[in-house]
Copies of this chain bind each other. A is one copy, B any other.
Amino acid sequence: MPKYKVGIVGATGYTGSELVRLLSQHPDVTIEFVTSESQAGNKIQKIHPHLLDIADIDLISVKEIDKHKPDLVFLALPHGVSMSFLKEHGLDKFAIIDLSGDFRFSSRGIYEEWYKKNHVAPQYMDDAVYGLPELFRDKIRNARLVANPGCYPTSAILPLAPLIKNGLIHPSSIVVDSKSGVTGAGAKPKAGLHFPNVFGNFTAYSLVNHRHTPEIENTLQKHTGYSTEVLFTPHLLPIDRGILTTTYSTPKKPVNKDLVEELFHSVYEKEHFVRVFDEPPSIKNIRGSNYCDIYATFDERTNKIITVSTIDNLVKGAAGQAVQNMNIMFGLIESTGLKHIPLNP
């Protein structure tokens, strides 16, 4: 018997349809409503035909949600739109998990510098909690507004946090070389994401100025207390889902391979969704699931610590992590409704 009622604001994007996939089978919640301003009045399967016969949902406008009295609302909206909706549609009366980048920073200045736009709802920034459960579980429990992490930051912070927190590496000049599937760039057609332009192709983009850079740095600092400096380079993989992130950093005290491996095993031993691998992980081992797989090693010859981590950008990098946060906020077991086994092959 489901105990909680939730709503989803924003249905046309990938995170919206993933939330429907995950929540429609969650044993303790019901989806009370899904909104779309452009598709209000249509069935959800009109935009997402794979949901035919599964989720019989009539899309409504965000203006009609009050009567549903949800226990929690997910905002599956683009950057910039979330903050406007929160403010303009009085969504602050609900517990909120926001999947955009609008509330991931404590500082308005950093947001405006990297996102190149004014923040229209800065009054909520202070109380927003960064929703990475493995690091901030306790704060999430009592949050009213959870800023769900970006996909790249999730894949980079989980392997880097133990190294910095435990004083193993110099927290400046960390190199993060990430490779992401195309769904990370959203559902809107663009020339750069047109099938023939991506198929059989591979490229780097947004060198030195991608806005996930300050998100990685600030979160690591918040968690570890160390000021960090990260060079982040994203690349576009010719696949639909999945991120693999390789990091390089320099030890600040003598380490060895065993010590590094044991650190990760001990830090993440009790986590539901972090699996520590003994060899470099691959993307299909986590496809469709909420896992983050991590491998860490040390190269004595060049004196570098290397980590390789993988997530499904739409699950642990977005909708799955949002549901994990919801479970924490509702006091449920954190893995409830999230035990999807990776789809491999």
Q: Which A residues fall within an 8 A CB radius of B?
A: 14, 17, 21, 24-25, 48-54, 172-173, 175, 177, 179, 181-183, 187-191, 193-205, 207-208, 229-231, 233, 235, 237-242, 244, 246, 248, 250, 275, 277, 280-288, 293, 297, 299, 301-304, 306, 308, 314, 339, 341-345
Contact between A341 and B301, CB atoms less than 8 A apart: no
Copies in the complex: 4
Q: Of all chain B residues, which has the CB nearest A173?
A: B302
Contact between B345 and A203, CB atoms less than 8 A apart: no
The 4 A-B residue pairs whose C-beta atoms are closest, nearest first, are A203-B282, A196-B345, A189-B189, A50-B285
Q: Which residues does chain B contribute within 8 Å of A242, judged by CB atoms?
A: 200-202
A44 to B208, alpha carbons, bound, how many Å?
28
Q: Which residues does chain B contribute within 8 Å of A344, judged by CB atoms?
A: 17, 48, 50
Contact between B208 and A297, CB atoms less than 8 A apart: yes
Instruction: Given A248-B175, A343-B343, check contact A231 B200 (CB 8 Å).
Output: no
Contact between B187 and A189, CB atoms less than 8 A apart: no
Contact between B240 and A280, CB atoms less than 8 A apart: no
- Add 4 more A-B contacts to A17-B344, A195-B197 (CB < 8 A): A25-B339, A173-B302, A173-B304, A202-B237
Which of B17, B200, B341 sits near A24, CB closer than 8 Å?
A: B341
Q: Of all chain B residues, which has the CB nearest A304?
A: B231
A297 to B248, alpha carbons, bound, how many Å?
19
Taking each of A179, A203, A341, which has the highest tally of chain B beta carbons within 10 Å of its own beta carbon?
A341
Contact between A233 and B246, CB atoms less than 8 A apart: yes
Q: Which residues does chain B contribute within 8 Å of A233, judged by CB atoms?
A: 246, 306
Q: Which residues does chain B contribute within 8 Å of A304, judged by CB atoms?
A: 173, 175, 231
29 interchain pairs, CB-CB under 8 A: A49-B282, A50-B342, A52-B275, A172-B302, A173-B303, A173-B304, A177-B246, A183-B196, A187-B196, A189-B193, A195-B195, A195-B197, A197-B345, A200-B242, A201-B242, A201-B282, A202-B242, A202-B244, A203-B280, A203-B283, A204-B244, A205-B280, A208-B299, A208-B306, A229-B301, A231-B302, A233-B306, A237-B237, A238-B239
